[in-house]
Amino acid sequence: MVSGPSLDEQAYVREGASQTAVKILVVGHFAVGKTTFIGAISEIPPLSTEETMTRAAEAVDDLKGVQGKTTTTVAMDFGRLTISDRVVLYLFGTPGQQRFVQMWEDMARGALGALVLVDPERLADSFAVIDLIEQYGLDYAIAVNHFDGSPLRDETALRDALDLLDDTPVVTCDARDEQSSAEALITLVRHLQDRAH
């Protein structure tokens, strides 16, 4: 069941502003915090397709290192963030499980770039996500979602572990925090602007 606002024709347009819409993907592996990130930063009530996890999912989804997760995204999350009178970001959160990967191609179409959320305790789970983003030819930034009690990782070690190019931005964020999440998105937007020039 899809929750969120009804979609009238003006629901996602800021009144009185002449804006350029920029489509951004918020991606990452299962249970890394994509829904939380979009919920924390969206200036509108986010559209979410969170569903209760079933026993069938327990056999498919790896819950190792994930405490208390009872819901999962089954289609996408959607939110909006206006960063200036001229630019509004439309944020599309992808589901993290491998069985939903076929949706990514459609979601990537028309996207300017991607913010890749990474759990520093499960770096290996990010390899397939980064491979997909690179396959779709999207520029991206890495946002390390720093959970309570998790150790801060050295950026050089993270870059080496994820095999990142030198110009790929890496930022630490807390997906629950609006300001921290905004800074991660601003890092991505600046990277996209630099790549465009």
- 123 lies in which domain range? 20-196
Count of structural domains within the chain: 1
Task: Report the pLDDT value the prediction gives residue 86, as an integer from 0 to 100.
Answer: 85
Say if residue 14's pLDDT is above 90: no
Strands, sheet with 139-145, edge to edge from the N-terminal-most edge strand: 47-52, 71-82, 87-93, 20-28, 113-118, 139-145, 170-173
Q: What CATH number is attached to the domain comprising 125?
A: 3.40.50.300
Q: What is the pLDDT of residues 138-193, one digit of tens each?
A: 999 999 998 776 777 889 999 999 999 999 999 999 999 999 999 999 999 999 99
HSE-CB for 172 with a 13 A CA cutoff? 11
Residue 2 in any domain: the answer is no
Residue 146 in contact with residue 183, Cβ under 8 Å?
Answer: no
Residues 6+ apart with CB under 8 A from 70: 52, 53
- Does any domain span residue 70? yes
54 versus 189: the higher-pLDDT residue is: 189
Which tokens go with 182?
A: 């905004």
In the chain, the largest separation of any two C-alpha atoms, in whole Å, equals 50
pLDDT in tens, 72-127: 544 578 999 998 888 899 999 988 656 556 677 788 899 999 999 999 888 999 99
Q: For residues 1-25, give the mean pLDDT.
A: 57
What would the DSSP string read from start to end of 153-175?
PPHHHHHHHHT--TTS-EEEE-T
Please compute the mean of the pLDDT values over residues 24-53 and round it to a whole number. 84
The residue among 66 and 6 whose pLDDT is bigger is 66
The candidate with the shortest Cα–Cα distance to 114, out of 98, 130, 125, 96, is 130
Q: For residue 38, give the nearest of 28, 47, 51 by alpha carbon.
A: 47
86 or 53: which carries more pLDDT confidence? 86
Report the alpha-carbon distance of residue 5 to residue 12 in Å, rounded.
10
Q: Is residue 50 part of a domain?
A: yes
The model carries a pTM of: 0.78
Q: Quick check: is 1 in a domain? A: no
Q: What is the mean pLDDT of residues 28-37?
A: 90
Q: Which of 21-30, 56-65, 90-99 has the least mean pLDDT? A: 56-65
pLDDT for position 7: 35
Provide CB contacts within 8 A for 178, sequence distance 6+: 40, 41
